[in-house]
Structure 1
Amino acid sequence: MSKLVRGYEVVIGFETHAQLSTQSKIFSRAPTAFGAEPNTQACAVDLALPGTLPVMNKGAVERAIRFGLAIGAHVAPRSIFARKNYFYPDLPKGYQISQYEIPVVQGGAIEFYLGEEKKTVRLVRAHLEEDAGKSLHEDFIGQSGIDLNRAGTPLLEIVTEPDMRSSDEAVAYAKELHKIVTWIGICDGNMQEGSFRCDANVSVRKPGEPLGTRREIKNLNSFKFMQQAIDYEVRWQIEQLEDGLAVQQATVLFDPDTGETRAMRTKEDAADYRYFPDPDLPPLVIPADWVERVKGELPELPRAMAARFVADYGLPEYDATTLTQSKAMGAYFEAVAKASGQPKLASNWIMGELSRRLNAQDIGIEQAPVSAEVLGKLIGRIQDGTISNNAARQVFDALWTGEGKDVDAVIEAKGLKQMNDSGALEKILDDIIAANPDNVAQIRAGKDKAFNALVGQAMKASKGKANPQQVNDLLRKKLGL
């Protein structure tokens, strides 16, 4: 059941441009590295000089095949390139080479969890195309320039059905798609550099009515802004309809400073682009043996890894999904689980203490100062009773900050080893019982609070070195509980 907003159903579809991780452009040998001086990475083909012809980049095609296989789509054995005609200063040819009637990837789906609920977003297609250049507006001198470094950069445009019903669902889909394209190595996923750009088609309708008029929010380059933009657009469209006004189809931009969307231009339809097959490019033919080879080279995919973590390590679905947010995190967990022999404790530490510190320093798990093997050893020392959970956090802090490198050496240096001498612990408990007759009476009367107070005294007397479970067990035994 869709969640309604003021009695309206929200309908969202996505178009995502993933920049493919090739070293050269889709139809030329010009480089694709980010950050070069304007117009230093544009060759004669990118500039559309007379007499130049496009040549297909095999690496771009292979990455499209990889994506199609990863999402369970049909990889077309024969697809066609078309010219998408429109005039804009950063498009030297006057058209963009794309795919229209027969795309390379057809169908497929993205599955993900929104909280505890499993969601599926169907894909219409994913097609290869070239990027346009970029207009640079220098307001302080009142002039604009054109940078054609991006012209011809290879893109895979991934188009969904209008299956999403909230901004939460849309962001969860975008994050899952981002995870997949980075996981299989076809895109670096850098949203700030424009490697992963999302356009959200948003409309609203009363339940049971036909789809409403959509407005396309262009170039959303962060998940935070994505949610803000969709939420604002939904509110705006509902207010328009409630005021008796019509929603006009349009392309809009989101302004993060104001938190509002604003119309950029009237939305074009396919007919406005006058698509026709590109006469300079033959049909793209993908033999079956090429698809099979790429299939054999695919890594274990996120959902498959999560399912294995549930089956092999007994993890809850939530833990398994969280631990497969990246390939690096999945590998880190497996190494910790194997080193410690305690997969659930490994999961708890990675999702808790480790993630907290990674987020605080804004670094990835690849840069974690504490290796998986060292964390596994630390968890092992908790499990064998050498240290308490509280002491383990102190050891972890020392390892993280570089104060120590070896788990056992830090435990020894800080005197954190738990007291496992039952004789010494019994003496402490005997003294505490003798000194607290009132508490003992309350305990025998069934008051748990008094029992906890004696446990606290024992831990304090042992300077925190007593094993809490051993304290509980011995105290209960001595009090005949």
Structure 2
Amino acid sequence: MTTTSKTSSLLVHGYEVVIGFETHAQLSTQSKIFSRASTAFGAEPNTQACAVDIALPGTLPVMNKGAVERAIQLGLALGSTIAPRSVFARKNYFYPDLPKGYQISQFEIPVVQGGAVEFYLGDEKKTVRLVRAHLEEDAGKSLHEDFVGQTGIDLNRAGTPLLEIVTEPDMRSSAEAVAYAKELHKIVTWIGICDGNMQEGSFRCDANVSVRKPGEPLGTRREIKNLNSFKFMQQAIDYEVRWQIEQLEDGHAIQQATVLFNPDTGETRAMRTKEDAADYRYFPDPDLPPLVVAPEWVERVRAEMAELPRVMAARFVKDYGLSDYDAASLTQSKAMSAYFEAAAKASGQAKLASNWIMGEISRRLNAGELDIAQAPVDAGRLAQMLQRIADGTISNSAARQVFDVLWTDGGEVDTIIEAKGLKQMNDSGALEAIVDEVIAANAKNVEEYRAGKDKAFNALVGQIMKASKGKANPTQVNELLKARLG
């Protein structure tokens, strides 16, 4: 891969990758979007499909207010415009698990318009623009595995409320696409509008992938459907990019299509040719009036929302002096931000707390596949240890020993320090004696330092630390040694 400064985009074999996303977030309402049937996961097939869901004659849809409020919440979280008036439409297509023969969705006037998702890829800040987020109902599910030569239909999901979140084609690599998806996942779970369970289908991502030579018009896209893990998402996009480039290099045209990713083979395969909007014959649903969202409703929802991740990150920068990157990292989840803030307040050492959480604690959590809520060392114990570093009781290296015991065995910080003899030497008289002895025994290093060789100074510090068995306070050692050497 090479990088072009003009576009700041990664090129793969001379091609620019272009990715847009459509994400279906299942809303956390207890009932469906147009009926009172339950949305609970895992029920026996067809036990949660009422007359409205299976489209019996004479039934009419009634809008779920909770679904609308969750859409408003997302719009507020992403800086979008909340449409004061939006319209529901019928999206017509035939599929066995779609009882009505059409899906109720939004087309020309969605409830959420515009906005953006901001995130970091490494230490580089990225922004993906949103086109829209619209309310719609889910379809049922076709079951193949339990029926020999036949397909079963489970309509429990029919009518489940979804918010489809559509981006501009702003992403230029699979890594950027995954980072976007993770940030969106964080936001919808943070504000509580979706549980984010990808295995249960609560957060499903479709990636629209195309390639082009730099400066050329957008290429023909292929849509990878229902990516239900971040790992598979990256694998699927990478394979699709390689496949499209190979096709173009061999002189073949890309045909617009819907494709599926097979995690067993690591390949995508075409499922059907991709439809355009005109193929769905959208028209306003005559059974549903326009959805009117008054400004007072929006403000009431805003007042009831918890502090948003980006707002909290800005506060961490202002109140605790953190960098933008550190603040964004510490607001990856509510649990992580709460852990940091508790440790920072209790210890008075915000930057030190940030370093430990983003460093040693995150490393151990990742190794053990644990969430911060499962960390064996709570925020209070971490704060106690940070205080002992700050007041000079222990060095950073000794703190790692203390932390190792806390993580594996638990206990009290001061008890561990005493038991392992990790207190730093803060007695200036004893330390002065060691410094004088080291200076006297290392005349050559002293001479080299006075001749301008900094390495000689570090060698003397090392000798002092060795003589003190690692207990000397490094800051005091440096200050005292410099004073002694003039």
State the TM bucket, normalised to the shorter chain.
over 0.9
**Aligned-pair distance for 1:251?**
0.2
Instruction: Tell me what 1:159 maps to.
Output: 166
Whole-Å separation in 2 of the counterparts to 1:153 and 1:29: 10
**Does residue 394 in structure 1 map to residue 391 in structure 2?**
no
Show CA shifts across 1:11-68 (max 9, x none): 2211110111111211222222223333333233223333333221111110001111
Asked whether 1:229 is paired with 2:236, we answer yes
Mapped pair 1:262 → 2:269: yes
1:314 partner letter: G
CA distance in 2, matches of 1:122, 1:441: 62
Which sits farther off after the overlay, 304-313 or 113-122? 113-122
**Distance between the aligned counterparts of 1:158 and 1:334, measured in 2?**
31
What is residue 188 of structure 2 aligned with on the other side?
181
Show the counterpart of 2:428: 422
Does structure 1 retain, via aligned residues, the 8 Å contact 2:376–2:410? Answer: no
Aligned partner of 2:322 among 315, 327, 330: 315
- Between 181-190 and 115-124, the greater mean CA deviation after superposition: 115-124
Q: Aligned-pair distance for 1:142? A: 4.1
TM-fit CA distance, 1:352 = 0.5
The share of aligned pairs that are identical, in percent, is 84
- 1:126 shift after superposition: 0.7
Report what 1:378 is aligned to.
385
Q: Where do 5+ consecutive residues of structure 2 fail to align?
A: 1-6
Which of these residues, 193, 196, 204, is aligned with residue 203 of structure 2? 196
Counterpart position of 1:475: 481
Is 2:418 aligned against 1:412?
Answer: yes
Cα distance change on mapping 1:139 and 1:239 into 2, 3 Å: farther
SS at match of 2:144: strand
Structure 1 partner of 2:25: 18
User: By how many angstroms is 1:218 displaced?
Assistant: 0.6
In the alignment, structure 1 residue 364 sits paired with structure 2 residue 371: yes
Once structures 1 and 2 are overlaid, which stretch shifts more, 393-402 or 97-106?
A: 393-402
CA-to-partner distance for each residue in 1:384-421, whole Å, 9 max, x for gaps?
Answer: 101111111122222222430x3222222322211111
Compute the displacement of 1:291 (Å).
0.9
1:463 maps to 2:469: yes
* Alpha-carbon displacement from aligned partner over 1:283-335 (angstroms, at most 9, x marks no partner): 22222211110112222222222222222222122211211212222222222
Partner of 2:256: 249
User: Structure 2: which amino acid aligns with 1:464?
Assistant: G
Shift of 1:472: 2.8
Name the amino acid aligned to 1:278: D
Q: Distance in 1 between matches of 2:362 and 2:228?
A: 24
- Give the superposed CA RMSD: 2.1
Please name the residue that 2:3 is paired with: none
1:284 aligns with 2:291: yes
Alignment equivalent of 2:44, drawn from 30, 37, 40: 37
The CA deviation at 1:381 is: 0.9
Structure 2 contact 320–350 (Cα < 8 Å) conserved: yes
- The residue that corresponds to 1:136 in the other structure is 143
For 2:444 and 2:461, the matched residues in 1 are separated by 15
1:46 to 25, 49, 53: 53
Tell me how far apart the structure 1 counterparts of residues 123 and 459 of structure 2 sit (CA, whole Å): 39
Partners of 2:141 and 2:153 within 8 A in 1: yes
Q: Per the alignment, in what secondary structure is the counterpart of residue 254 of structure 2?
A: coil
Taking a change above 3 Å as real, the CA distance of residues 118 and 476 of structure 1, as seen in their structure-2 partners, is closer
CA drift of 1:447 comes to 4.5
Instruction: Report if aligned partners of 2:55, 2:100 keep a CA contact under 8 Å in 1.
Output: yes
Q: What is the rounded CA distance, in whole Å, between the counterparts of 1:118 and 1:416 in structure 2?
A: 41
**CA displacement, residues 107-139 of structure 1 (integer Å, 9 cap, x when unaligned):** 222222333443322211111111112122227
How big is the shift at 1:374? 2.4
CA distance in 2, matches of 1:10, 1:275: 31
Task: Quickly say closer, same or farther: Cα 1:294–1:139, change in 2 above 3 A.
Answer: closer
Any conservation in 1 of the 2:205–2:225 contact (CA below 8 Å)? yes
Q: Structure 1 counterpart of 2:62, which letter?
A: V
Task: Tell me the residue number matched to 1:325.
Answer: 332
Instruction: Provide the residue aligned with 1:238 in structure 2.
Output: 245
Separation in structure 2 between the aligned mates of residue 432 and residue 73 of structure 1, nearest angstrom: 66
Secondary structure of the structure 1 residue equivalent to 2:430: helix
Counterpart secondary structure, 1:201? strand
- For the 8 Å contact 2:84–2:294, the answer to whether it is kept is yes
Find the aligned partners of 1:82 and 1:213 in 2 and give their Cα distance: 27
Opposite residue 125 of structure 1, the aligned amino acid is R
Q: TM-score, normalised by structure 1?
A: 0.93
Give the Å deviation of 1:349: 0.7
How far off is 1:140 after superposition? 8.3
Counterparts in 2 of 1:339-358, with a 5 A limit?
339-358=346-365
User: Which sits farther off after the overlay, 292-301 or 39-48?
Assistant: 39-48
Rate the CA distance shift 1:207–1:428 in 2: closer, same or farther, 3 A: closer
Query: Residues 21-100 of structure 1 correspond to what in structure 2 (within 5 A)?
Result: 21-100=28-107
2:469 partner amino acid: K
2:315 partner SS: helix
Please tell me the residue identity of whatever aligns with 1:474: L
What amino acid maps onto 2:317 in structure 1? V
Q: 1:302 and 2:309 equivalent?
A: yes
CA spacing shift, 1:438–1:7, aligned 2, 3 Å: closer
Q: How far off its partner does 1:449 sit?
A: 4.2
What is the alpha-carbon distance in structure 2 between the residues aligned to residue 421 and residue 304 of structure 1? Answer: 46
Q: Please list every run of 5 or more consecutive structure 1 residues that lacks an aligned counterpart in the other structure.
A: none
The DSSP-based 3-state class of the residue aligned with 1:138 is coil
Q: Distance in 2 between matches of 1:415 and 1:29?
A: 65
**What SS does structure 1 have at the residue aligned with 2:43?**
coil
Q: Partner of 2:4 in structure 1?
A: none
